[in-house]
């Protein structure tokens, strides 16, 4: 199913990266857990609500796509959004552009140095 998601998103928005996050990525999901995926693409609008409408598939209502424009994602990463840091840290990359993934990992490594994490709590210096 996850491979199919990547294929579907690739056809719709040519993503820079698709990351599984949340309980499915951490392995603490239940039968009622949804499937959270972050999709980052140049083709997505800067308003994530509009992006959700592009990515949501009524045939797979258990999939909860978080849509993010590439520029917005990179700005949030550089600014230390704890949501983005947690998605990268706990998530599983399903597919994406190798160059983008490498750049993201480098920026993440630098930004992450400013933060401490205890469980789900993030603090910074």
**DSSP states along 40-102:** EETTS-SSHHHHHHHH--TT-TTEEEEEEEHHHHHHHHHTT-HHHHHHHHH-EEEEE-HHHHH
Q: What is the pTM of this model?
A: 0.94
In a domain, 42, yes or no: yes
- pLDDT band (50, 70, 90) for residue 108: very high
The boundaries of the domain holding residue 33 are: 1-118
The secondary structure element, H or E, covering residue 23 is helix 23-26
Q: Could you tell me if residue 98 is inside a domain?
A: yes
Q: Percentage of the chain surpassing pLDDT 90? A: 87
Within 10 angstroms of residue 52's Cβ, the number of other Cβ atoms is 15
Q: Is residue 125 part of a domain?
A: no
Residue 80 lies in a domain: yes
In a domain, 29, yes or no: yes
Q: Which two tokens stand for residue 111?
A: 């930004």
> How many domains is the chain partitioned into structurally?
1
Asked whether residue 123 is domain-assigned, the answer is: no
pLDDT at 6 over 90: yes
The C-alpha angle with vertex 53 and arms to 57 and 66, in degrees rounded to 5, equals: 85
Q: What is the mean pLDDT of the segment spanning 33-38? A: 96
Question: In CATH, what number is assigned to the domain containing residue 11?
Answer: 3.30.460.10
Is the pLDDT at 124 greater than 90? The verdict is no
Per residue in 51-87, pLDDT tens? Answer: 999 999 999 999 999 999 999 999 999 999 999 999 9
């Amino acid at each position: 199913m996850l491979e199919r998601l990547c294929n579907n998103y690739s056809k719709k928005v040519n993503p820079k990266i698709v990351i599984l996050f949340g309980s499915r990525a951490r392995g603490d999901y239940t039968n009622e857990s949804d499937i959270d995926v972050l999709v980052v693409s140049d083709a997505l609008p800067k308003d994530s609500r509009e992006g959700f409408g592009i990515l949501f598939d009524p045939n797979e209502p258990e999939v909860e796509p978080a849509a993010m424009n590439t520029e917005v994602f990179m700005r949030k990463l550089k600014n230390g959004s704890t949501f983005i840091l947690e998605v990268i840290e706990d998530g599983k990359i399903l597919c994406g552009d190798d160059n983008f993934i490498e750049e993201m990992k480098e920026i993440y490594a630098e930004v992450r140095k400013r933060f401490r994490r205890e469980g789900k709590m993030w603090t910074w210096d």
